[in-house]
Amino acid sequence: MTVPRIPSRCGRSVFRVASTIDSQGDDAETYFRINYFYPKIDNVVTDLRLWFGSSQQQCAKLASVIPLHIGANIEEQWTKLQDGMLVYYDFFTDSETVLKAEYLLWAKKWLKVGLDDRPKSAAAALDYTASAADFRHHPCHNCGSRTLLLKT
């Protein structure tokens, strides 16, 4: 069995102070801990912060739009949804009142459907869009936007 040894290196590092180990002992374990292990751990911690940080938690609140996640307390879910919508607020063209009314209609629609029959993702919910007959009472039923809402 061969003992790991320090690879050949330049005498002076200009990029990272800790990469030379002269002051910390001249052994392979210290060298690899400083130059390989600590940077890898730092990358893992950074990735976890990116994946589960505050902005991702805020966006995760948008999951209350998915029919499977709609529960009996619609008003509480609307409050959570509002927090998530803050990220995309500049993209909305309707007022908050209109968005809330649309969400309440959406939630009430899915509360009538059993949990096992509800779509489990936003993409799957597109398969359950309304038929053309359901647009009779829609305020803009004469506009061309209804073709975007129908399954093609």
Instruction: Give the residue, 42 or 138, on which the prediction is more confident.
Output: 42
Q: What is the pLDDT of residue 90?
A: 84
Q: Where are the domains of the chain?
A: 17-52, 62-115, 121-152
Lowest mean pLDDT among 15-29, 65-79, 110-124, 130-144: 130-144
pTM of this structure: 0.54
Q: What is the pLDDT of residues 36-90, one digit of tens each?
A: 898 999 999 999 988 888 878 887 888 888 888 888 888 888 988 888 888 788 8
Token reading at 2? 């061969």
